[in-house]
Structure 1
Amino acid sequence: MSLTQFGPVYSGRASAVRAGEVVLSLVASGLVGMRGWAGVRRLQQPYDRSLQLGLDRLAALCVRAGRDAPVGVQDLVGVWCAQRPVDSWPLEFDPDAQVSGERLLIGGEPSEFCLEWAVTARDVVSEVHESVLVKHVKDTAALLGRPELYARWRLFVTDHAVLGPDEFLAAKNAVLDVPQWATWLEESYGAVTAEAAAGGRVAVCGGCGQWIAPQADGRVRCKVWRCVQRHDLPEPARVEAQGARRLEPELVRFVALPGRPEVDLARRLAARGARVVLYPKLDALDLVAVWPGGHSVGVDVKDWHSPYLLARRIKMFPRWGADDPHAYRKGYLVVPQDRVRANRRYVKILVQRSEALKAQPWVEVVSDDDLVASCPDLGTAGAGEVVCGP
C-alpha cells in the first residue's frame, strides 16, 4: 500500500484496522518529525510530509464516516492530537492495540504512545549521528578483537549524562591503548549550550539520570514517562555548566534512556551474587547472567509502552554452544515491572502477538522484579559483579 497517495476503499474489519494503523503511524511520524522543526519556513512544505499524508487519509475516512474532519494541519495538531484521545477519532483499531484514552501530544511533546507508533525517526541529524556512531563503535571494537569496548562505551554514556572538564578529560584517557576511545567520547558529548543550562548550571534528573533542558520559565521538569509518573522523584542535581560536556540529545534518546533499565537490572542481579556480562557479542543480547549456583540466563530487556507494537519487533534469541563463554541455558524477555503493573494484559498480548516468541518456547516473558527474585540471594555484599566482557 503506497504512503504517497490515498489507498483503496477498505472493506472488512482487517482492512479497516490496517487503514486506522496507517493513519495513526503517519500522524505520529509527522509529529515526531516536527520536534526538530525550528520554525524555518520551507516555501512549499512547512510541515513534515507524513503529517500532511496522515491528515489527507484521516480526512477521507472522516468523510466516509459522516464525521467532521480536522481543518488543516493546525487543527490536527492543536486539537485532534493534543486534546482528543485516539479512540475518539473515526478509526478502527485492534483491541490489543489499547488506544483507549491515548493522546499523541502531551504538554506539547509527542507522548510515549506517539513515539512508538512513529514508523521512522524524521530527525535526520539525530538518526544519522546516533546510528553512524554506534555502528562505528561496534565495527571498531570487532576489528580490534575487543567487543567489550562497545559494552564499556554504552555503560559509560548511560551512567554519565554530564561531565565536568576534569571528568571529561579523565574519561577520554581511560583507555589509552585504544586511541579511538577518546574520539568516541568526543563524538558522544557536546559543549553545554545556553538552552541546556539555567543559572549557569545543568540539571540532571534524579530519576532517569539524564540532563534536563529548562522550560521557557526557567523551571526544570523531566518529561521522561517514568519520571513524570513518580511522586517521590528526587530533586535534580546541578552541575556547573562552565566547561562541562553533556551527552548528545540523540544518544540520550536512543542509547542512555533505553540502557537505564538494562543496566539497573544487571546491577540488581549482581547485588544478589550473579555475574552479569553486559551486551555480549556486540549487543547480541542485553545481558548474560550466571546465578551463584551456576545456572545461566540470556536476557533481552524491552521497555515499551505498547505490547501490541513491541510484539512485532521481537527477534530470535541467539544460541551459543556450551563451550562459548556467553553460553546460557534459559532465555528471558524482560519487561519492567511498572509496565506490567500499569497494563495487566501486557504479557498476554505480547505472547499471543509475537511470532518470534511462539517460535522460541524456551524464551519466557517475565518482569524484571520476577527475574531478580528467581536469582538466589547470597546475602553477601560484593559477591556478584557487572562486567563488559567474558
Structure 2
Amino acid sequence: MRSTGPGPAPEDLSTAAVDDWAAHDGVPMLATVARALCVLEHLDGLEAFRLPYPSVVQLALDRSAVAFLRNDARPPASLAELVQRCAQIPLEDWPLRLPTDAAGPDDLLIDPVSWRPTQLCHEWGEWEAHAQDPAVSHRDRLVIHGALERCQAYGEESAYAEFRRLLVQRPVLTTAEHFALHRDFALEPVWDLIDLIYPEVPRAMSRNGQYAVCGRCGTLLTPVSGGEWWCERDRCRRLGDPPVGRWIDAEQAGVVHQLEQPLRRHVTGPGLAEVDLERGLTALGLTVTMWPGFDAYDLLVVFSDGHRWAIDVKDWAHPGFLGRAARPVPPRPLYDEAFWVVPAYRVRERPDYRQTFERSRSASARGLLLVTDEELVNAARKRLRDIGTTTREETDHA
C-alpha cells in the first residue's frame, strides 16, 4: 500500500471550515500537539521532559495553553500534564473549536496502557508535517520507492511482491532468520534494504529473557506493568488481550531484529488487511495477484468470466484524512471495476466513517467507491453466483 499524506481539500472549505482550521485553535493546534507527541516518542525516558524541548514540543505546549485559555479552561501546567491529558481526555471533550468530524467517540492521542501515540495521533502528526512542508518525504516512501527501483531494474515484479509480503508477514526476525534471507535469491534485489530496515531490538522489549511475538499481527509485544503485554496495532487491541504467537529466547536467538516503526505503521499494518482480503477472496476460488504492476494498486482480482477488479486497501483511523488522500485507482494493470477498501471494524467504530470520507474527498475522486472488506467479499460471492460459478467454499462444503 502506498501511503499518501493527508491535507485539506480547498474546494470543501466553507467560511466555518476556514475558522475551524485557523492558526491558533482547533485543527492546527491539535495537529501540532500530535506532531509533538510523535517527536517525544523517539526520545529516551527523562530526556523527553528535559529543557530545552524540541521546537515543535515547545510550540505545542505554548499553543495548547493559549487554546485552553481562550476557551475558559485551565491550561496544562507542564509538558507532563499535557501528555497525561492526551492519554485521559477524549478529543471530543477537549475545549477546542473542532469540525464535527475531527474525532470519533473516545479517540485519544496517547494510548493509556503503553503511553505511546495512537495511530490516530500519527495521522494527525503527519497532517501537520505536510501542512508545513508539502515536499516532506516519509521513510516508508523512500524505502518502498527504493525497493521498486531495484526490482524494476532486475525486471523482477515477483521480487517486489516477495519483499512486500516479507514486511507484512515477518516483521520480526531472529539472527538465523535474518541471515537466511540472504540465501533467498528471490529477494536478491533488496538484500541491502533489508539490512537497513530491520534494526536490532533492545532488551527492554523482553521480559525474563523472553521476547513475545503477537499471534495476530506478528509484531513484538511491549511488556507493560502487571506482567501484561501490549500490541501496537489498533486492530489487535480492539480484539482483546494480544495472544502470544511465539516466544523468542533472548540468549538462544542472539540478536532479534524488528522492522522499523514507520514501515510497521505504513506497510505492515495496512498490509495485514491486504493479505486478509487476499485470503478471503482466494477462499472463494478467485485468482488474486498482490501488488500488481509494481504496486500500481494492492490487489487484482480476476473472475472466471475474465471480469477484473482493482482494489486498494486503506486502514486509516481518521476518515477525513483518508478522504483528502482519495484519488482514482491507477488505470493499469487494466480492470473493469475499482474499489477502495477499509477494514469493517473502522466503520463499526465510527458509524459516520463513510460519510466523513465522502465529504472530505476532492472532486477528482467523487466516483471512487469505498467499501469494507466484508462487503467486498460478499459482493464477490454474489457475483460468482450471478455468473453461475460455484465458489470454492461451496465445493468444499459439498
Scaled by the length of structure 2, the TM-score of the pair is 0.80
The structure-2 alpha-carbon separation of the partners of 1:380 and 1:87, relative to structure 1 and needing over 3 Å to count, comes to closer
Distance in 1 (alpha carbons) for counterparts of 2:189 and 2:331: 31
SS in 1 for 2:294: helix
**Which segments of 5 or more consecutive residues in structure 1 lack a partner in the other structure?**
1-11, 321-325, 384-390
Deviation of the 1:360 alpha carbon = 4.7
Q: Does 1:17 align with 2:20?
A: yes
SS in 1 for 2:271: helix
| Native 8 Å contact 2:201 2:258 kept in 1 | no
Across the two proteins, how many residue pairs are aligned to each other? 359
Distance in 1 (alpha carbons) for counterparts of 2:120 and 2:111: 10
Distance in 2 (alpha carbons) for counterparts of 1:44 and 1:75: 14
Residue among 235, 258, 283 paired with 1:226:
235
Considering only aligned residues, what root-mean-square deviation do their CA atoms show, in Å?
2.9
Give 1:196's aligned residue: 205
Deviation of the 1:16 alpha carbon = 3.3
The structure-2 alpha-carbon separation of the partners of 1:197 and 1:70, relative to structure 1 and needing over 3 Å to count, comes to closer
The structure-2 alpha-carbon separation of the partners of 1:45 and 1:159, relative to structure 1 and needing over 3 Å to count, comes to same
Task: State the Cα deviation string for residues 74-100 of structure 1 (Å, max 9, x = none).
Answer: 32222x322222233331111122355
State the one-letter code of the partner of 2:53: Y
Q: Does 1:240 align with 2:249?
A: yes
Q: Does 1:280 align with 2:292?
A: yes
| Native 8 Å contact 2:326 2:365 kept in 1 | no
Scaled by the length of structure 1, the TM-score of the pair is 0.82
Deviation of the 1:274 alpha carbon = 1.4
Give 2:40's aligned residue: 34
Distance in 2 (alpha carbons) for counterparts of 1:46 and 1:218: 35
Distance in 1 (alpha carbons) for counterparts of 2:138 and 2:277: 29
Deviation of the 1:267 alpha carbon = 1.8
SS in 2 for 1:300: strand
Give the percent of matched residue pairs that are identical in Structure 1 and Structure 2: 29
1:41-120 equivalences in 2 (<5 Å): 41=47, 46-78=52-84, 80-107=85-112, 108-119=115-126
Distance in 1 (alpha carbons) for counterparts of 2:127 and 2:320: 17
State the one-letter code of the partner of 1:291: F
Distance in 2 (alpha carbons) for counterparts of 1:232 and 1:220: 8
Q: Could you tell which deviates more after superposition, 88-97 or 28-37?
A: 88-97
Q: Does 1:335 align with 2:337?
A: no
**Which segments of 5 or more consecutive residues in structure 2 lack a partner in the other structure?**
1-14, 130-136, 385-389
Give 2:371's aligned residue: 366
Distance in 2 (alpha carbons) for counterparts of 1:71 and 1:232: 34
The structure-2 alpha-carbon separation of the partners of 1:121 and 1:291, relative to structure 1 and needing over 3 Å to count, comes to farther
Deviation of the 1:272 alpha carbon = 1.0
Distance in 2 (alpha carbons) for counterparts of 1:98 and 1:41: 30
Give 1:323's aligned residue: none
Give 1:215's aligned residue: 224
Distance in 2 (alpha carbons) for counterparts of 1:166 and 1:67: 56
Give 1:387's aligned residue: none
